[in-house]
Amino acid sequence: MPQDFPALVARIRSGADVLYAVCAEERIDAYRPFVLPVPVVVPPLTARAGELDRVISEYASDAIAELGVLPSSFAAEDHAWVRAHAAHSLAEVEKATLRLTVIRSSSSASAAAARLGMSLVSLSRWIGRRGAACL
């Protein structure tokens, strides 16, 4: 290993300039004590308010691409609704953006439920718990 390897490890551990992490199978490495363990810490979404709009937009883009629908299937009003009512976790944002995109791009609630692989009753309950404001 290079002589400056410990300094490099210290710099990487500071996290200030790390752009990505590489995940690989665990292997025996003579220098492992210098590098590991360095946990990857993902702060909760509620602590990342500055990133929330981008997170919502990215999940909406994923839903639009997955469903093969027009970008207008997730409108600015939908984005604002998710931000205000369904942004406590990444899973909640993902679920809300997908469901709203499907609802907007389907001919009926029954068709939307079928596309989501859920019963109409379950989808209706999800909508009901969130109020008609999400529609």
The two most distant CA atoms of the chain are separated, in Å, by: 66
Q: What distance in Å separates the CA atoms of residue 82 and residue 92, rounded to the nearest whole number? A: 9
Q: Is residue 106 part of a domain?
A: yes
Total domains in the fold of the chain: 2
Q: What distance in Å separates the CA atoms of residue 113 and residue 121, rounded to the nearest whole number? A: 9
Kindly state whether residues 59 and 94 are assigned to the same domain.
yes
How many angstroms separate the Cα of 115 from the Cα of each of 59, 63, 98, 120?
Answer: 17, 12, 10, 11
* Greater model confidence, 27 or 64: 64
Instruction: Work out the pLDDT band at 82, boundaries 50, 70, 90.
Output: very high
Residue 11: the pLDDT is: 75
Kindly state whether residues 17 and 54 are assigned to the same domain.
no
pTM of the model: 0.69
* Greater model confidence, 135 or 105: 105
